[in-house]
Homo-oligomer: A and B are copies of this chain.
Amino acid sequence: MELTEQMKTIVVIFGATGDLAKRKLFPSIYNLYTKGQLSDNFAVVGIGRRELSQADFQANVVKSLGSEDGNTEAFSQHFYYHPFDVTNRNSYIELKALLEQLDETYQTEGNRIFYLAMAPEFFGEIAQSIKREGLTNTKGYSRLIIEKPFGHNLASAQVLNEQISQAFTEDQIYRIDHYLGKEMVQNIEVIRFANAIFEPLWNNRYIANIQITSSEVLGVEDRGGYYEKSGALRDMVQNHMLQMVSLLAMEPPIKLTTNEIRSEKIKVLRAIRPVKESEVHDYFVRGQYSSGMINGTSVVGYREESNVSETSTTETFVAGKILIDNFRWANVPFYIRTGKRMTEKSTKIVVQFKDIPMNLYYNNSEQHLSPNLLVIHIQPMEGITLSLNAKRQGKNIGIAPIKLDYCNNCEDIINTPEAYEKLLYDCMRGDATNFTHWDEVALSWQFVDPISRVWEHEEVRNLPTYPSGTMGPEEANQLLAKDDFFWWSLFN
């Protein structure tokens, strides 16, 4: 039996009436509670602008869990609502008193997690006020969890980081990238370093290219206002996509400690070849969805979405080619692709191995063997597929591709914990491995900034579009065709 560490802490959620709290945080805390990873010595303080009674807040918490059982009532009793004005000093003073009282009641040993699940404008203000008013002066730990976006370019991220750093040290700051909490993203490291057969192949002698796709079926929904300022590059590439590149490309760390792993990931980001503004079109493609069909239903184009400008040039799709200039990866393109209103919801990594040095099976040069592929399925299916070649069944001649499959979540789907559940537990345990270090944030913005600068100043007529329900604009295919590659289909 694995020994479960039982956590004692107060979690303060700024933005407790918001979507993230309801959809992810309350259920995650509940799961930790029912699994015994959270002791009875915990409390959650919900912070929001509006007035809300204790009873209503607790009812909201119960409602967010989907179904009630014998535990939900007792669980919700640990939740406290605290109406708040982030710019008003008194709010912090009152919060401090509440936290001290709860610390007493629940014996949480002075441990406090401040979770900023809200718009980023006030991150700096809140962090500094928390510090200034003494909310972190306890005998336990104080940690700050921050949701994306962390700035909208390198300069704004630096400003934000300076503000936060005045109140919290780097090792108190937990920058959430929820992709790092996903089961199969965490598995990348294990697949690479716990299996003898992959590491010898994991380099430019045997790998032709690596393709990372994160496609969504949904459009911007009611987040048009946010998305207009962000776009796919900032929303997905700067964080999630580059994080997956780092995990796939990093050298084996000397130990599996937070610092060693981060240090190797940072080395990858430092080795990525910068894309100069004059070269952006050689490496990156953007697109915006037009109207189309999704599952037999017609949907509107991005510019017709609410809170979106009729002349918007915001990209809802990005494809890019990333080169890592080090010994292991020289000349192996990492292709990334992400967008909204695509054919299917799917995040997958396809490692395409080089062709065999000599094809013994066909004299006819027009026939070719399929390359070996290692596919890591991140979501919604979780698993691993290895595509090999084998004898065509029952035939005297001929080779056909076969697939070796492993599914991680086909049975027992309920027991796969949500990313947020694991990340919250990691934060309570003080394990920052699956959070983003400031250096990673900075290097990612540094890489992405020239691309967004070019796109911002580009003429509208140069913005490729793609019909909703497709895998992006034709330009994304051309990006690989230039290198004699193509995107592997995600759907077979």
Q: B-contacting residues of A (Cβ < 8 Å)?
A: 2, 183, 186-187, 190-191, 193-197, 199-201, 205-206, 252-253, 255-256, 353-356, 358-361, 369, 371-372, 384-386, 388-391, 393-399, 402-406, 408-409, 412, 415-417, 422, 425-426, 429, 431
Contact = CB atoms under 8 A, between A and B. Distances in A.
17 contacts: A2-B397, A2-B398, A183-B393, A186-B391, A190-B399, A191-B389, A193-B361, A194-B360, A194-B361, A194-B399, A195-B388, A196-B355, A196-B356, A200-B200, A394-B417, A396-B431, A402-B406
A351 to B, nearest CB: 10
A409 B384 CA distance: 21
A201 B197 CA distance: 7
Contact of A197 (B194, B206, B412): B206
Contact of A360 (B255, B385, B409, B412): B255
A51 B426 CA distance: 84
Interface-centre pick from A195, A200, A369, A403 (highest chain B CB count, 10 A): A195
Contacts of A409: 393
A253 B360 contact: yes
A492 B354 CA distance: 33
B206 A388 contact: no
Contacts of A415: 393-394
A48 B206 CA distance: 58
A427 B379 CA distance: 50
A202 to B, nearest CB: 11
A354 B196 contact: yes
Given A256-B360, A391-B186, A385 B404 contact: yes
Nearest to A352: B196
Contacts of A187: 390-391
A405 B404 contact: yes
A200 B201 contact: yes
A405 B406 contact: yes
Given A190-B391, A255-B360, A356-B193, A404 B416 contact: no
Contacts of A416: 393-394
Contacts of A255: 360
Contacts of A358: 252
A112 B361 CA distance: 30
B353 A196 contact: yes
Q: Which 6 residue pairs spanning A and B have beta carbons closest together?
A: A404-B404, A194-B389, A404-B406, A196-B356, A190-B391, A187-B391
Given A206-B200, A360-B252, A371-B196, A408 B393 contact: yes
Contacts of A395: 2
A353 B199 CA distance: 12
Contacts of A394: 183, 415-417
A186 B399 CA distance: 12
Nearest to A386: B404
Contacts of A417: 394
Contacts of A197: 197, 201, 206, 353, 372, 388
Contacts of A359: 194
Nearest to A388: B195
Given A386-B386, A388-B384, A356 B406 contact: no
Interface-centre pick from A206, A389, A398 (highest chain B CB count, 10 A): A389
Contacts of A396: 422, 425-426, 429, 431
A195 to B, nearest CB: 5
A409 B394 CA distance: 10
A256 B391 CA distance: 14
A195 B389 contact: yes
A293 to B, nearest CB: 33
Contact of A406 (B384, B403, B426): B403
A257 to B, nearest CB: 10
Contacts of A393: 183, 408-409, 412, 415-416
A409 B402 CA distance: 12
Nearest to A421: B394
A417 B393 CA distance: 9
A390 B190 contact: yes
Contacts of A2: 395, 397-398
B194 A369 contact: yes
Given A397-B2, A399-B190, A195 B372 contact: yes
Contacts of A429: 396
A191 B353 CA distance: 15
